[in-house]
Amino acid sequence: MPNLLAFEPAQFLGFVIILGRISGLIVSAPVLGDRTIPVQVKAGFAFILSLIFYPIVAAPQVGSDPNIVSVVLITISEVGVGLLIGFSARLLFTGIAMAGEVIGFQMGIGIANVFDPATSAQGAVVAQFVSILAMLMWLAVGAHHTFIRALAESFTLIPIGTPWSFAGWEVLDNAAASMFVLALKLVAPVLLLLFFVYVALGLISRAVPQIQVFFVSFPLTVGLGLLTLAFALPAFMSLVHDGFSTLDHDIPYFMRRLSGN
């Protein structure tokens, strides 16, 4: 591990540039970048990783008399690269949380919100539940190790100072579209069942107006929704697992396209 006290000014600036990319990835990465993790922990983790990676990656050559403006611009660019790599995977968690929001709304408990420490906002109870399950699956499949490998590969696939390519934005756009597809797959069982329940309740309301459908529908939709979610949970987690398993291919592909390869 390098000794920072023995660094020359040019070497220290190169270390800061590497630290910028690693910090950007940790801030935007799922689980690692959640607000529930103290800032000091994330900063220390980024610093330690930078010390580990500095001797084994191609450190940027800033020269003996570096231009501070160019160094700042490169550092900002490297922070952006790390943010984009982490954001490309965070889209999966966004799709999962979106599915939970839709399920809760369709069940009629969308108003039952709790504080979400990860986003510092109010979130539906069902969305919180499925997000926690996704975090556990994330750790179970070792997806956090995927990010460490992706971080090591990023310095080869996207050398420091490489300009971004528009092809990378196209891949990110496709990942955002896949987020909606994943959310639709996750919500499909509950959404389909409740659709038929609402149709049946509508027909009953027309046939027998004396029945107070509103009071009947609330416990019925909540109960059937929870029951369906429980039975569909294995398929739900299987889809989440498949989404996380594709990160080994998707993240390196995104980095190659972002570098123009």
- List, in order, residues 6 or more apart from 183 with CB less than 8 Å away: 95, 96, 98, 99, 102
User: Is the CB of residue 153 less than 8 Å from the CB of residue 252?
Assistant: yes
Task: At 74, list the tokens.
Answer: 């490169």
The DSSP symbol for 54 reads T
SS3 145: helix
Contact 21, 154 (CB under 8 A): yes
Q: Please provide residue 111's backbone torsions phi and psi, each rounded to the nearest 5 degrees.
A: -80, -15
Number of domains in the chain: 1
Query: Which residues constitute the domain of residue 49?
Result: 4-258
Q: According to the model, what pLDDT value does residue 119 have?
A: 56
More confident residue, 19 or 2: 19
The residues pairing with 124 across neighbouring beta strands, listed in sequence order, are 113
Distance separating alpha carbons of residues 29 and 261, to the nearest angstrom: 24
Q: Confidence band (pLDDT; 50, 70, 90) for 205?
A: confident
**Per-residue confidence band for 114, with pLDDT thresholds at 50, 70 and 90:** low
Averaged pLDDT for residues 189-215: 80
The pTM of this model reads 0.79
CA distances from 139 to 32, 46, 105, 245 (A): 11, 19, 28, 12
pLDDT reading at 108 higher than 80 = no
- Radius of gyration (C-alpha) of the chain in whole angstroms: 23
- pLDDT band of residue 167 (cuts 50, 70, 90) is confident
Average pLDDT over residues 167-195: 84
The residue among 155 and 119 whose pLDDT is bigger is 155
25 neighbors 83 (Cβ within 8 angstroms):
yes
116 pLDDT more than 70: no
- The β-bridge partners of 113 are 124
Q: How confident is the model at residue 61 (pLDDT cuts 50, 70, 90)?
A: low
- In the chain, pLDDT over 70 holds for what percent of residues? 87
